[in-house]
Amino acid sequence: MTLLSVEGLRVEFPTDEGTVKAVDGVDFTVDRGEVVCLVGETGSGKTAACEALTRIADGAAVAGSVHFDGRELTDCDDRTLRSVRGDRIAHVFQQPGTSLDPVYSVGDQIIEAIRLHDDASRSEARARAISLLEDVGIAAPAERIDAYPHQLSGGMRQRVAIAVALAADPDLLVADEPTTALDVTLQAGLLELLQELSSARDLAVLLVTHDLGVVAELADRVVVLYGGRVMERGGVGALFDRPAHPYTRLLFRSLRGVAEGTDDRPTPADGGCPFRSECPHAVPDCADGYPAFHAANGDAGHEVACVFYGPDYDIATLGGGGGS
């Protein structure tokens, strides 16, 4: 069942050098209990897109539709939005420090989060906080609950940040690069935890990452972003077996050590395919409006926004796959 449905999402930031379109028309959905990964590089708009869901970024102008569990969030007033944020949609960030306050103990922060959304007594909330810490894999939760964030390791802090996020029993967890700052050993454990939480609590997870390894471990479905647009989306199996978009193929080739492209910043959104300046196959049509979505390789739900998959071109021109 669809929990979140995002349509035509646009996010703009005012800067000294004019307005920057971070997201320029993005569609995706997340079902209950499902893990969807937004994959993209710096500047792809992945973070702006997920921060726009509950409008947590200051100064961003958000347009389009964000439909969450029967409610249109873009029309909501600030009060309603605040209650959705945290209560129904919780966020976890790359640096666990972003979600945790250094001057309060771990327990105080979880207890506050519980009591903000539920009128539990302090002792009830404390008991629940301890069992939440246990759920996220913190050993000796009854002792650690009185620890301060700086007394915990990076891996434990990220687990605590997840416990805070889960305090109000949300339906959707939005996790922005939650494992990027961690070692591989800790990353593996944290991905396993997110997987367990998703199935045990029927929790939908929207995971933002640049790491295809993380996607392979966790995603049910994948949305590939570049320059504020969706390049390709589909089930994780189909997308890894047969990546369709020239950009996605480039990503996989890079993982095999093939160095291509330049370190220039992507060209700003201008209505054409944002990838065309880097694309080895670009044709004049790529500048003629945003490419429409076409079925990719005949896999159900696997779609690609590239003119080569339209009726006027032959996908054979793109050459072989490039998947995992």
Partner 1 sequence: MSGGDPLLSVRDLKKHYPVKRGFLRRTVGHVKAVDGIDLELRRGETLALVGESGCGKSTAARSLLHLDSPTGGEVRFDGESVGSFDDAELNRFRRRAQLLLQNPDEAFNPRIPVGESVAEPIDIHGVSDAERREELVADRLERVGIDPETADRYPHEFSGGQKQRLALARALVFDPDLLVADEPTSALDERVQTRILSLLETLQARHDLAILFISHDIRTVRRFCDRVAVMYLGEIVERGPVDAVFEDPQHPYTQALVDAVPTLDPDERGGTKPLGGDVPDPADPPSGCRFHTRCPVVIPPEEYDIDAETFRAVLDLRLAVTADDVDIQRLRNRLDDGDDERLRAVLRERYGVPVSLPDDDAEGALSAALDALLAGDEEAALEQLETSFTTVCERREPETHETAAGSAACHRRDESSPF
Given candidates 25, 33, 154, 321, which one binds partner 1 under the rule CB under 8 A? 154
Given candidates 264, 284, 298, 300, which one binds partner 1 under the rule CB under 8 A? 264
Binding mask 215-244 for partner 1 (x = CB under 8 A): -xxxx----------------xx--x----
Taking the complex as a whole, the smallest distance from the CB of residue 308 to partner 1 amounts, in Å, to 20
Q: How many other C-beta atoms lie within 10 A of the C-beta of residue 313? A: 16
Q: Binding to partner 1 by residue 279, rule CB under 8 A?
A: no
Helix axis angle, 154-166 to 184-201, nearest 10°? 20
3-state secondary structure at position 154: helix
Q: Which residues contact 288 (CB under 8 A, 6 or more apart)?
A: 272
Q: Binding to partner 1 by residue 66, rule CB under 8 A?
A: no
What is the token pair recorded at 254?
A: 């890079």
Given candidates 98, 131, 151, 267, which one binds partner 1 under the rule CB under 8 A? 131
Q: How many Å apart are CA 217 and CA 324, to the nearest integer?
A: 13
Location of structure tokens 């940040």: 161
Q: For residue 226, give the H/E element and its range.
A: strand 221-226
The CA-atom distances, in angstroms, between 262 and each of 5, 154, 274, 279 are 34, 33, 15, 11
Q: Closest CB to partner 1 among 33 and 154?
A: 154
Taking the complex as a whole, the smallest distance from the CB of residue 254 to partner 1 amounts, in Å, to 4
CA 250-282-290 angle, 5° bins: 95
Q: Binding to partner 1 by residue 188, rule CB under 8 A?
A: yes
Q: Closest CB to partner 1 among 86 and 96?
A: 96
Which residues make up the interface to partner 1 (CB under 8 A)?
Answer: 41-42, 130-131, 139-140, 142-143, 153-156, 183-189, 191-192, 195, 210-214, 216-219, 236-237, 240, 250-251, 254-255, 257-265, 324
